[in-house]
Amino acid sequence: QVQMVESGGGSVQAGGSLRLSCAAPGSTYRWYGCMGWFRQAPGKEREVVAAIDNAGRRYADSAKGRFTISKDDTKNTLYLQMTGLKPEDTAMYYCASALGTCGGRWSDHSLYNYWGTGTQVTVSS
């Protein structure tokens, strides 16, 4: 089992920025497959924010132009740079790792094999 840990969440005002990170400390697992960020707001279903693999990056419409997903393979770390934050971005954010590539299922949470425990992002108006 791979333990993934997110960090970087917090409370910001609308228009602000945050950078989320995701790592698997102490693990020898290498992230060659699809890596993704999901979020879940209270009372809502978990939804994809962005995903990345060697074929490229993909974004949900809500994230396009504001969020950037990236990864550092040398550090086995996944990032999500969020700018222009809105109150509707308030949610628990999770990173996820798949054994396979993103393909056409990058937005499907069932693709992903390992999940972090989440980091809270709160955006006030």
Tens of pLDDT, residues 13-66: 999 999 999 998 777 777 779 999 999 999 999 999 999 999 999 999 999 999
pLDDT-derived band at 2 (thresholds 50, 70, 90) equals confident
Task: Give the pLDDT of residue 74.
Answer: 84
| Model pLDDT for residues 10-24, shown as the tens digit of each residue | 999 999 999 999 998
| Per-residue confidence (pLDDT) for residue 102, from 0 to 100 | 94
pLDDT, residue 110, reads: 95
**Nearest alpha-carbon partner for 70 in 52, 89, 95:** 52
Q: Cite the DSSP H helix spans in the chain.
A: none
Are 37 and 50 in contact, with CB atoms under 8 Å apart?
yes
C-alpha distance from residue 19 to each of 23, 29, 57, 101, 117 (Å): 13, 23, 17, 24, 17
